[in-house]
Chains A and B, each alone.
Chain A
């Protein structure tokens, strides 16, 4: 089975997705403050890695990177509600790019699987979510 990464068009599609997704995040006051002091180019590179991973594209994802990469944000109050916002915008972005509801749900499940890493909790600690 080909990955959603390939179905959407590979690298160029993910580049386009990063632009859409990042713009949604920056424009959302629930999460925008977390991006105040970041370099936009390196942030976009990280988002591209994340999107590639959740779309099943080539990646060397490690939960440890996700943990250390967000620890300073957890200290600033990053919590489940913000991860929900990420998943919401991720879904909207993929829908704009032509993904089906089933595909969006599959990506959301993958994104949810790193929730504990992002929030620096022991794996499996997160409350059940639909």
Chain B
């Protein structure tokens, strides 16, 4: 009979028992609500062993890829070690190897972690300073390809972390990274799916990782990247992205500015208007939205109304406060 390993405890399951039933039966206060596979309160992660058959039905593919499953559904077929979603996140020491200004208010950080740091390009991590100050940033590169971790930091006036990074941080400084978290990453397996990537500010970072990951996996469907900013000075990585688009006919890179003159690969107007004019139907598309929270939430609704399925919309709102999603 299968057993569940949870927080150092071993729970033997009765025949036909779900993970949730087993945990509750053992007196463990496992989170749950509807017990019918809808509310997702009971979401857990399989860290060793297969999630029970049927327990990942209806979940986003990124969640499935991370081993997330609903403990109220399915009966385990083998021993299974799980964590609850809150328990996720390891902290590992790291050394800053490079600090470079790559945009008007964007600094690129590269770090080498003391131990392998498992993550998917585009997920976010918390960067932790020696005194404990922590802020979240998205990873912008691919772990399998590079031996460093790349983060794009938007420098905010008076930002506690970003100000320190911009003014004082030097190569060789010891920090830590915690995580990873988030569902903004490329999931192989559907190479024909058209991808729409929309980002403002350093929301570009995860999209840059996703774009490279898609190409590395031989993605065969169109990949549209919209980079939004108020004016041209708010853009960064433009040359790299233009070169990438030139080298890959599948990639269309469009800069979207609120102010400026339209040009080749450059549109002027609100992103949602540009999107609606150029891509009125998003049925069958997979969409990643990253950056300014108001914009991300507004676009999420609009791309859904334009036909993208809910489970194919991944939104990462960059909130400007500690402990939220990728931020300051």
Contact = CB atoms under 8 A, between A and B. Distances in A.
A30 interface: no
B274 to A, nearest CB: 20
A52 interface: yes
Contact of A11 (B57, B300, B304): B57
B34 interface: yes
Contacts of B35: 60
Given A40-B304, A48-B58, A18 B36 contact: no
Interface string A41-70: 110111011001000011110000000000
A27 B309 CA distance: 15
B40 A45 contact: yes
Given A11-B37, A40-B304, A49-B38, A22 B310 contact: yes
Contacts of B37: 11, 58
B311 A15 contact: yes
A49 B301 CA distance: 21
A60 B317 CA distance: 33
Contact of A23 (B34, B38, B305, B311): B305
Interface residues of A, number: 22
Nearest to B307: A23
Interface in A1-42: 11-12, 15, 18-19, 22-23, 26-27, 40-42
A49 B58 contact: no
B309 A19 contact: yes
A58 B37 CA distance: 9
A12 B40 contact: no
Contacts of B39: 45-46, 49
Contacts, number: 49
Interface string B310-328: 1101000000000000000
A27 B310 CA distance: 15
Contacts of A57: 36
Question: How many B residues are at the interface, by size bracket?
Answer: 10 to 19
A103 B287 CA distance: 34
A52 B38 contact: yes
Nearest to B304: A23
Nearest to B38: A49
B57 A18 contact: no
Nearest to A11: B57
Contact of B36 (A19, A27, A52): A52
A45 B40 CA distance: 7
A48 B309 CA distance: 14
A11 B73 CA distance: 12
B102 to A, nearest CB: 32
Contacts of A48: 38, 58
Contacts of B300: 40
A11 B37 CA distance: 9
Given A40-B300, A48-B58, A49-B39, A18 B310 contact: yes
A71 to B, nearest CB: 17
Contact of A41 (B36, B307, B309, B310): B310
A48 B40 CA distance: 11
A12 B58 contact: yes
11 contacts: A11-B57, A15-B311, A23-B305, A26-B304, A40-B301, A40-B313, A45-B38, A45-B40, A49-B34, A58-B36, A60-B35
Given A19-B309, A60-B34, 6 more contacts: A11-B37, A23-B304, A23-B305, A48-B58, A58-B37, A60-B35
Interface of A: 11-12, 15, 18-19, 22-23, 26-27, 40-42, 44-46, 48-49, 52, 57-60
Ordered nearest first, which 5 A-B pairs have the shortest CB separation? A49-B38, A48-B38, A59-B36, A15-B58, A11-B57
